[in-house]
Amino acid sequence: MRENTLRSIWARGETVINGQCGIASSHVAEVMSQQGYDSLLIDMQHAPVNFDALFAMLQAASTTNTIPLVRVTWNDPALIMRALDSGAYGVICPMVNTADECRRFVGACLYAPLGYRSYGPVRGYLYAGPDYYAKANDTILPIAMIETAEAVANLDAILSVPGLAAVYVGPSDLSITYGLAPSTGPHDPAMHAVFDTIVAACRRHGVVPGIHGFDPDYSRARIAQGFQFVTCGVDIDLIYAGAQDHVKRVRA
């Protein structure tokens, strides 16, 4: 089975630099996957990416060594299994607030006896190899999003769920549940203290802590804080920033 290099990076104690793709285009996914990211997250939650687009985007990303991940719209077993059958090497699930919700999510990612995933990796075995079934449970990454105060309160129970590989903090949603604005809350020292709590809990349980990193400075600060999976670069944001910079420089 094709190696999931994210597991290898984490085993060395290093950090995964992740890119995010929300433009429903195989060409954009192809371009993003060739920019040096360790992984590429295709976002179905907040972006207009349907399953037809997802399938083509996963095919485009598989021409590189960048590991393909998918953020599904919700903790729905059908969505999770379809993403994995399409060739995702990890699934990020939003709004996981309790251990029961985490067990349901992880179970959908793994084959029995560890989970209840249905067998039918239509494209998964083409991407991963003919021994997909035998090694999938040790390769696929179930990643639960921690983005509410409720989830932080239940963190030790969530992190105790067998098979959970990593958590992924959504700083904006998490800020809202602590009474902060989604635009400024992620930069608030009070929120950074919550991040410290999450990192410490992950270390206790042997689960990788991840977070959405916004810009390079924010991402570097979170890496220094102990996060080992950091998103730095969303396709649409990069277009905004690049276009604005070009127009500004030409008008000057």
**Residues with a known catalytic role:** 46
Calpha distance 100→224 (Å, rounded) = 31
